[in-house]
Amino acid sequence: MSPLIFRNANEADAEGIASVLQELVAAGKRQSASDSEFARVHYITHSNNLRCTVAEDEDGNILGFQALILAIEDNPYGAPVGWGVIGTHIRPTAARRGIGRQLFERTHAAAQANNLEAIDATIGANNPEGLNYYEAMGFRDYRVSDGAISKAFRLR
């Protein structure tokens, strides 16, 4: 297995991030298709972005990414104001390589550096891989609504 590189995302990563999202849609693991502009606005340059980390192979192909944004008032996730909101996306072809765990190490450090109380992960109730991943990272259920389960990772 080739070495993985983890780094902060930049605008040049928008197409690679969109490709990850599109592969997830094709595999039936994500509902909405996303293009590079969506990836740029929602993950890389989001106004409340705390960190977006990409995992890439030695050839520069993005295998997955994890974003952490700050929850503000009336956020679309319903997360408490001041918490972080996390999103994790890994290509199905890159699953089971420890990418998610290594991404979370960096996201956890960013959450601590920003003095967050907790991180929210809202996952579709029909996404057992996502639910199991967040549970393995230490997230615990705190809310259930409209076919989704919200888990919290408490930092303090």
Residue 42 near residue 68, CB atoms below 8 Å: no
Contact by Cβ (8 Å): 87, 67: yes
Query: 80: left (phi > 0), else alpha (psi -120 to 50), else beta?
Result: beta
* Cα-Cα end-to-end distance for the chain: 37
Inter-residue contact 75 to 24 (CB < 8 Å): no
Q: Which residues of 5-15 are buried (b: 16+ CB within 10 A; e: fewer)?
A: ebeebeeebbe
* Type of residue at 151: K
The pLDDT profile of the chain, 156 residues, written as one tens digit per residue, is 568 999 999 999 999 999 999 999 998 888 886 899 999 999 999 999 999 999 999 999 999 999 999 999 999 889 999 999 999 999 999 988 999 999 999 999 999 999 999 999 999 898 899 999 999 999 999 999 888 999 999 998
